[in-house]
Amino acid sequence: MHAQTSDPSSPLSLLTREIHHHRRLRHPHILALYEIIATESSIYLITELCTGGELFDYLVEKGRLSMGETRRVFGQLVLGVAHLHQSGVVHRDLKLENVLLDERVNVKIADLGFGREFEKGRWMETWVGTLGYCAPEVVAAKRYLGEGLSLLHTGRMRQVLTLAPRGRHLVAWRHPVHAPHGLAAVRRRRRGDHEGEDPQVRVRHAYLARRG
């Protein structure tokens, strides 16, 4: 691999953090990493099997969850996030697509590439994550607290679990733009600068650009 580790969103940086965090985190609702296999050209992560797929796809297939199932799924998610925080780690990219499900539909938090160790009360400045879930502070390029970011992310997921449109209409809610490029587009639009911006992306940013 020739990726630069100085870029927090480079493939090598993401993989390095992913391995680092998963090696030391052990919890029923955090994806377990069992083994790492490295060859000359590839690195393979052997994790526990999650035949239920992503929570996002589960919602698309099943539709809005009942209150009982929402309480169970969200409760497991909160337990996993609490363990992350107790271990001094903030995920920073919590979203439906990064929550996997096992064969019994138990939550497994995955994709810790943007995860970072933190100190309680200490501000963060790196703008990472998925635009559709971003906190206002991140969109505005301001400092933020890691634990507060997790609260906002889990709150948005809780809202989608009970209020999201049913079936394939939920697919339209998926936001494909990731930081830092997506955030940069939002900030340009706030300044009235649309040069070089994809019209379809402009439409997806419209709501966030009007806020705050």
Q: Which residues are catalytic?
A: 93
**Residue 166 DSSP symbol:** P
For residue 136, is the peptide bond before it cis, meaning its omega torsion is within 30 degrees of 0?
no
Contacts of 23 (CB under 8 A, 6+ apart): 33
> What is the H or E stretch that residue 165 is in?
none
Q: Burial of 6 by CB count in 10 Å (0-12 exposed, 13-18 middle, 19+ buried)?
A: exposed
Query: Reduced to 3 states, what is the DSSP secondary structure of residue 202?
Result: helix
What whole-number distance in Å separates Cα of residue 187 and Cα of residue 200?
16
Q: At CA 90, angle to CA 89 and CA 95, rounded to 5?
A: 135
Query: Reduced to 3 states, what is the DSSP secondary structure of residue 192?
Result: coil
DSSP string, 84-116: HHHTTEE-S---GGGEEE-TT--EEE---TT-E
